[in-house]
Structure 1
Amino acid sequence: MSNAPTPTRLMLVTPLVADAEAMAFRLMQAFAGGDVAAVLLRLSEGDERSKIERVKRLVGPVQSANVALIVEAPALVATRGGADGVHLTNGPEAVAEARSSLKNERIIGAGSLRARHDAMDIGEAGVDYVMFGEPRPDGSLPLLAAVIERASWWAEIFETPCVAYAPDAESIAALVETGAEFVALGAWAFDEACDIRALVTQANVAIAAHAARKAAR
């Protein structure tokens, strides 16, 4: 349940990555800003071998920072690359297939959940987390109020952790208030104009402030 003593933690959702070296540098900057629980790696187009190589390049620096690397890719790419898990967006059948092949050896997360029943169906399929609020395939975002409502509803009722996707820095505090186990900072956090180290620090300050208020009640 969401009222467990562990505070919210951060997930970083990368833009589509073609250059693993450049992304490794940006991630090290982010980790210098404070606690990060996981990185959700999104890969640009390429053949299977090139995708696996990009995962392999990022596994070392991410895992050495005690951060989990989850890949939005087929399970084969994630496992051969040495990642900690996969993120799926194509429904319960894909989750069941991944669970069958990965057993309990890898994290399986799910996103692109447009309605409450979609989230419940995915939860019953055996995922390790659900994500709300990430960009749609056309790049548009759901209303922040809808993400807050959905994350609050899930965190209050269900045991499976949820990730609330922050569309910008200003929304982080409100999403922490939902009780979601994770708040995700998306591709916008990796923009060249963004100080990702300072952003991670800011997000952790918001998390700590929420935990202090909760403890004082």
Structure 2
Amino acid sequence: MTGPENRCRLVLIVPDIADADEQANIVADALKGGDVASVIVPQYGLDAGAFQKHAEKLVPIIQNAGAAALIAGDSRVAGRSKADGLHLTGSAAEIAEAIDKHAGKLIIGGGKATDRHTALEIGEARPDYIFFGKLDGDIKPEAHPKNVALGEWWASMIEIPCIVMGGTDPASALVVADTGAEFVALRLAVFGEPGLAPSVVARVNALLDEKAPRFGD
């Protein structure tokens, strides 16, 4: 399955659920809702062994749905679970080191891009994408204005794709799309009520299909 290439696409962030089977089932259901470019799997409070177990359940589900599975922070878990990539929340130096080590084998992206200067430093490492916001930064209905502004600035200047963290309201995806960002990340907007996750994914895709700006126009 290939998704719409000419508009902002959805990135899901796996919710914090201690039971690996329950977490996997909820993510599998959400992915039935429509196009998802990638899914980021955070460690939350899990030890390495438990994180490994969660990742090994999630990665094939994500990949079978046609999305890229990105493991947050732990390259060993990413390798062992056969994930597609590694999402890092550290400095430009950390990202550069990971790119040197895993180039060609894993998608590498992320970064602690809290301002323009830091974002440009991360960009110099040539990651596969840059992330504006925190994986658990969806604490209000709307996307954080600073991340929206950074996404708009970046998308207007830099070819490296960006992901901007949305808010708890699914409609925040359109605000992000209007910046020109290639991807919007949602967590609680989709998974806040797990039973509704597939319909929210469908609704966000319909909204983006109808109203998101088209690249190359």
Interval of TM-score (by shorter of Structure 1 and Structure 2): 0.7 to 0.9
Superposition pairs of residues 100-139 of structure 1, within 5 angstroms: 100-134=100-134
Partner of 1:66: 66
Q: Against the structure 1 CA distance between its residues 70 and 214, is the aligned structure 2 distance closer, same or farther, given a 3 Å change threshold?
A: closer
> The residue matched to 1:202 in structure 2 has which SS?
helix
Matched positions, count: 210
Shift of 1:13: 0.8
Q: Is there any run of 5+ residues in structure 1 with no aligned partner, and where?
A: none
**Equivalent residue, structure 2, for 1:24:** 24
- In 2, the alpha carbon distance for the partners of 1:63 and 1:71 equals 13
Letter in 2 for 1:69: A
Does the 8 A contact of 1:111 with 1:134 survive in 2? no
* Aligned match of 1:156: 156
User: Does the 8 A contact of 2:15 with 2:188 survive in 1?
Assistant: yes
**Pairwise CA distance, 1:169:** 1.6
- Structure 1 residues 94 and 200: CA distance shift in structure 2, 3 A: same
User: What is the DSSP-based 3-state SS (H/G/I as helix, E as strand, rest coil) of the residue aligned with 1:10?
Assistant: strand
Does the CA contact (< 8 Å) of 1:85 and 1:106 recur in 2?
Answer: yes
CA contact (8 A) 2:34 2:205 kept: yes
Residue of structure 2 in register with 1:181 after alignment: 182
Query: Which runs of structure 1 show a deviation greater than 4 angstroms over 4 or more consecutive aligned residues?
Result: 139-143
Distance change >3 Å, CA 193–CA 102, structure 1 → 2: closer
1:208 aligns with 2:204: no
Query: What is the TM-score normalised by the length of structure 2?
Result: 0.86
Give the CA deviation at 1:179.
1.1
Bigger shift: residues 72-81 or 151-160 = 72-81
**AA matched with 1:35:** D
Kindly, what percent of the aligned residue pairs are identical? 33
- Please tell me whether the aligned partners of residues 8 and 208 of structure 2 are also in contact (alpha carbons under 8 angstroms): yes
Shift of 1:208: 0.8
SS of 1:126 mapped into structure 2 = coil
Q: Secondary structure at the match of 2:14?
A: strand
Deviates more, 1:154-163 or 1:140-149: 140-149
SS of the residue corresponding to residue 54 of structure 2 reads: helix
148-157 vs 127-136, greater mean Cα deviation? 127-136
The residue number in structure 1 matching 2:79 is 79
Let me know the Cα RMSD of the aligned residues: 2.4
TM-score by length of 1: 0.86
> What's the secondary structure of 1:130's corresponding residue?
strand
Q: Distance in 1 between matches of 2:204 and 2:47?
A: 36
Per the alignment, do residues 40 and 74 of structure 1 end up closer, same or farther by CA in structure 2, a change over 3 Å counting?
Answer: same
**Cα displacement string for residues 94-114 of structure 1 (whole angstroms, at most 9, x for unaligned residues):** 112211221221011113311
Partner Cα separation in structure 2 for residue 28 and residue 102 of structure 1: 28
Distance in 1 between the 2:182 and 2:162 partners?
A: 6
SS at structure 2 position matched to 1:183: strand
Is the 2:131–2:164 Cα contact (8 Å) retained in structure 1?
yes
1:59–1:71 CA distance, 2 compared to 1 (3 A) = same
